[in-house]
Amino acid sequence: MTRPRFNRILLKLSGEVLMGDGHAIDPAVTARVAREIADVKAQGYEVCVVVGGGNIFRGLAAAAKGFERATADYMGMLATVMNALAVQNALEQIGVDTRVQSAIPMSSVCEPYIRRRAERHLEKGRIVIFAAGVGSPYFTTDSGAALRAAEMKCDALFKGTSVDGVYDADPKKVPTAKRFETISYDRVLADNLKVMDASAVALCRDNNIPIVVFNIREQGNLARVLAGEGTATIVQR
Ligand code: UDP
């Protein structure tokens, strides 16, 4: 099956993608992820990035241990800003102009989220990293990714994970699990398949933004999938 051509993408990186060797943010792993982004940027794609924070702090998990939920969620959002700065640092070390915009303004650290300014950065060939999700507790960075993908008119949301697509069962537990080449938003929601949060999937569905689920841990995979070659699953209508 030939995949559609995407020009402007939003790449969602879970916090755990930056982990390695017992470090929440492993510099070597982060540098590798940055090279993936730089490669596709060099090929002319426009790239927005949304980073998670789960490698450092997750509000829901902390709330289960007694933290007040909203406070824990704000802590989680702050964690995403740390990850965003780490990815920015790694990109700039290889000469890629990058701006971080946070949904929670912190002007000494990064720019506040301003959609039109983000648009200008992309026009100038910069990578824009969106931090702090949607800026409100009780949400996740998956929802932040879907929201920013819609606002920035991205052609697709690329969800980088540690598996190469969406399966009908957990491929790490069920050897006969089957990978979907494409699957509908409605099936993902009805079968409760673990692609992204339901609210994020619904937002993509309502705005007709394809979700491309692929393995970001494999070197060169982002470029391959964008070229229509690598293994992935597309969630679409
Ligand atoms: N978070 C939030 N609102 C948002 C985005 C994130 O409250 O709009 C908090 C939430 O506590 C979440 C944490 O930030 O657990 C880290 O984000 P997420 O779990 O989405 O990170 P990922 O799993 O992608 O690493």
Tokens 């990293």 sit on residue: 129
In this prediction, residues 220-224 reach a mean pLDDT of: 96
pLDDT of residue 156 exceeding 80: yes
Contact by Cβ (8 Å): 15, 3: no
Distance 72 CA to ligand 1 centre (A): 10
Banded pLDDT at 1 (limits 50, 70, 90): low
3-state SS, residue 100: strand
The chain-wide mean pLDDT, for the chain, equals 96
Ligand 1 atom 6: residue of nearest CA: 140
Contact by Cβ (8 Å): 80, 13: no
Which one, of 134, 166, 169, lies nearest residue 149 by Cα? 134
Neighbours of 185 (CB within 10 A): 21
Strand order in the sheet with 127-131: 111-112, 98-102, 127-131, 46-51, 8-13, 156-161, 211-215, 232-236, 182-184
Banded pLDDT at 219 (limits 50, 70, 90): very high
Q: Which one-letter amino acid corresponds to residue 3? A: R
Tokens 């909203």 sit on residue: 70
Contact by Cβ (8 Å): 44, 28: no
- The topology under which CATH files domain 8-236 is Carbamate kinase (3.40.1160)
In this prediction, residues 121-126 reach a mean pLDDT of: 98
Ligand 1 atom 16: residue of nearest CA: 53
Q: Which one-letter amino acid corresponds to residue 138? A: Y
Among 1-10, 34-43, 136-145, 154-163, which is the least confidently predicted range? 1-10
For β-strands 211-215 and 232-236, DSSP reports them as: antiparallel
Classify residue 8 by burial, with Cβ atoms within 10 Å: 0-12, 13-18, 19+: middle
In this prediction, residues 103-107 reach a mean pLDDT of: 97
Contacts of 136 by beta carbon, 8 Å cutoff, 6+ apart: 73
If one residue of 19, 102, 141 were mutated to test the ligand 1 pocket, choosing by the most ligand atoms within 8 A of its CB, it would be 141
82's tokens: 């740390």
Ligand 1 contacts CB of residue 160 (under 6 A)? no
